[in-house]
Amino acid sequence: MLDIEGMNAFHGDFQALFGIDLHLEPGETLALIGANGAGKTSFLRALCGLTRAQAGRFALNGQAMLPLEAPARARAGIALCPEGRRMFSSLSVAENLMLGGRIGRQGPWNMDSVCSLFPILREFAQRPAALLSGGQQQMVAIGRALMANPALLLLDEVSLGLAPVVVDELHDALVRIRGEGMAIIFVEQDIARALRQADRFLCLLEGRAQLAGPARGADLAAIGRAYFGETA
Amino acid sequence: MNVWIETLMNGLMLGGLYALFGLGLSLIFGVMRIANIAHGELVIGGAFMAFSIAGAVPLPPIMLVALVTALMFALGWAVQSALVNRVLGSDPLRPLLLTFGLSVLTQNLLVELFGADSRSLDIGSFKTAALTLGTLSVGLLPLVTFGLTLLLFALLHWGLHHSAVGRVVRATADDPEIVALMGVNRKQVFAGVMALSAALAALAGMLLAMRSTVTPFSGAERLLIAFEVVVIGGLGSIWASLAGGLALGLVHAVSFRADPASGLLYGHILLLAILLIRPEGLAGKRRTR
């Protein structure tokens, strides 16, 4: 469903990614791991069109993504829940969610199902998003991405800066989201948790794919070496 | 006593027109974070477009105003798409210089086409008609201007807060990068906002040309007033522009009555006082980002 061969990405003159290959099937979940600056966020931004990229091949359901700008990629089915949540802070919770749904793709996610996933959003629907707690804002950000009914959902560090009990709640929600059959790529600092949640993992180091494989039975020692760039 | 009540009413109604000058500038700044130095030329350009159309085809004033407003809407859209969108980015100096250039260019173009004489828009007896309430007398034109201003503010408020397009505009102002992920092309949003700003400015310019005279050089003074309205009122909501406009109008009217030689001095003093005492403006919100 998602086919990427040899993707490079750039911030101005600085090259952030070098020759990344990735293939994902519908319903598959990939954990993207790596140290700070390894290129995880750059990869997600390159996928949804916020960061400039080149690739030998980059297609979603057979449709070439590279010629498309970010709005067209959103309509094609790529949604990002960005690092730092990036709420529309002057809009209410409900308005944030409605914006997520404005591209009008069909699927299981709508205002009702998102509010069933995160009941607090129904209660706070009319509140300005800026007044919510960090965890609640993260729920709005995930909900906003879900509202697009994407084929490929990108989640960047949804646990960052949140209390452990909130992180547990969010990851429980992820399990339910996975059941809906979209492909998911998520960035997570807690490697043990990432491997529990994912089907496969991809470990980046300085913009290059260092190690990849199935999450179940992954060799933590090998991941540790790939993470820190030690030669085996 | 009556003199002072009339002065206050005139001040409020002048303030309505000022608020309309400031509204477009505030919209542009709020959504795109740029200062449109050519805003005064949009105001005056609207008036001159009305002069030239009125000179060619005799239209009823309402038709003329509607036509020019629509044409300036299209012009604003075109200018934003063809020029201003190209220079938006992390450097705020580039749109500043571009709009400054457009301002100078427009001024000279207007002088070339129309000469430097002062003109006004002829609306016949409507200009001097007055409404008498007991012993008070209020000009009909300022009253209509004021009512129209309030109506436009209310419509704009409704549009921004209760329509899907308004939601997209507010989201774009909040985070112009992330709206792209919601399928929004921010350059189109910017074009729409500039178009609206130009239409409002042109409307204000025609109302100005009905009550007084304008020259091709009048834009700078309108820009100054628009800036003062935005600073005095504050940013963050369109009602702040109305508050700023009314405050400035009142100060101008009262100071003109009390000290006729003072010109715009007391308005500038109000601006300085606001900057010192309440830099977020009378009705502005402190930005929380």
> Which of B157, B163, B181, B190 is the best residue to mutate to test the A interface, defined by the most A CB atoms within 10 Å of its own CB?
B181
What are the residues whose beta carbons fall under 8 Å from the beta carbon of B277, sequence distance 6 or more? Answer: none
Residue whose structure tokens are 């709020």 = B30
Contacts of B168 in chain A (CB under 8 A): 99, 102
Contacts of B164 in chain A (CB under 8 A): 98, 102
pLDDT at B288: 43
Residues forming a β-bridge with B139:
B130
A103 in B contact zone (CB under 8 Å) = yes
Evaluate whether A48 touches A154 at the Cβ level (below 8 Å).
Answer: yes
Gap between the Cα atoms of B210 and A19, Å rounded: 66
Q: Do A80 and B181 touch (CB under 8 A)?
A: yes
Contacts of B174 in chain A (CB under 8 A): 87-91
Evaluate whether B171 touches B184 at the Cβ level (below 8 Å).
Answer: yes
Average pLDDT over residues A195-217: 90
Residues forming a β-bridge with A183:
A152
Gap between the Cα atoms of B100 and B121, Å rounded: 27
Gap between the Cα atoms of A169 and A171, Å rounded: 5
pLDDT at B221: 93
B184 in A contact zone (CB under 8 Å) = yes
pLDDT at B287: 53
Q: Do B167 and A82 touch (CB under 8 A)?
A: no
Check residues B98 and A171 and name the one with the higher pLDDT: B98
Residue A79 lies in domain: 2-228
What are the residues whose beta carbons fall under 8 Å from the beta carbon of A170, sequence distance 6 or more? Answer: A135, A138, A139, A142, A158, A159, A162
By three-state DSSP, how is residue A3 classified?
A: strand
Q: Which long-range contacts (CB under 8 A, 24 or more apart) does B82-85 make?
A: B84/B34, B84/B190, B84/B194, B85/B187, B85/B190, B85/B191
| pLDDT beneath 50: ranges in chain B | 288-289
pLDDT at A177: 87
Q: Do A70 and B171 touch (CB under 8 A)?
A: no
Q: Kindly provide the b/e burial profile for residues B74-99, where b requires at least 16 CB atoms within 10 angstroms of the residue's own CB.
A: ebbbebbbeebbebbeeeeeebeebb
What pTM, to 2 d.p., does this model score? 0.92
For the domain that residue A80 is a member of, what is the CATH number?
Answer: 3.40.50.300
Q: Do A89 and B174 touch (CB under 8 A)?
A: yes
Domain total in chain A:
1
A180: confidence class by pLDDT, cuts 50, 70, 90: confident
- ipTM of the modeled complex: 0.91
Q: What is the phi/psi pair of residue A133, to 5°?
A: -70, 170
pLDDT at B286: 61
Torsional class of B183: left (φ above 0), alpha (ψ -120 to 50), beta (otherwise): left
A231: confidence class by pLDDT, cuts 50, 70, 90: low
Q: What is the phi/psi pair of residue A204, to 5°?
A: -100, 145
pLDDT at B50: 96
> Which of B90, B161, B182 is the best residue to mutate to test the A interface, defined by the most A CB atoms within 10 Å of its own CB?
B182
Percentage of residues in chain A with pLDDT exceeding 70?
Answer: 99
Gap between the Cα atoms of B68 and B46, Å rounded: 7
Give the lowest-confidence range in A95-99, A207-211, B127-131, B148-152. B127-131
Gap between the Cα atoms of B85 and A215, Å rounded: 46
SS (H, E, C) A8-73: EEEECCEEEEEEEEEEECCCCEEEEECCCCCCHHHHHHHHHCCCEEECCEEEECCEECCCCCHHHH
> Which of A73, A90, A96, A152 is the best residue to mutate to test the B interface, defined by the most B CB atoms within 10 Å of its own CB?
A90
Is the pLDDT confidence value at A54 over 50?
A: yes
- State the Cα angle at A20 between A87 and A187, rounded to 5°: 35
Instruction: Give the residue from chain A lying closest to B185, CA to CA.
Output: A71
By three-state DSSP, how is residue B6 classified?
A: helix
Residue A182 CA: distances (Å) to CA of A110, A116, A150, B21: 15, 18, 7, 50
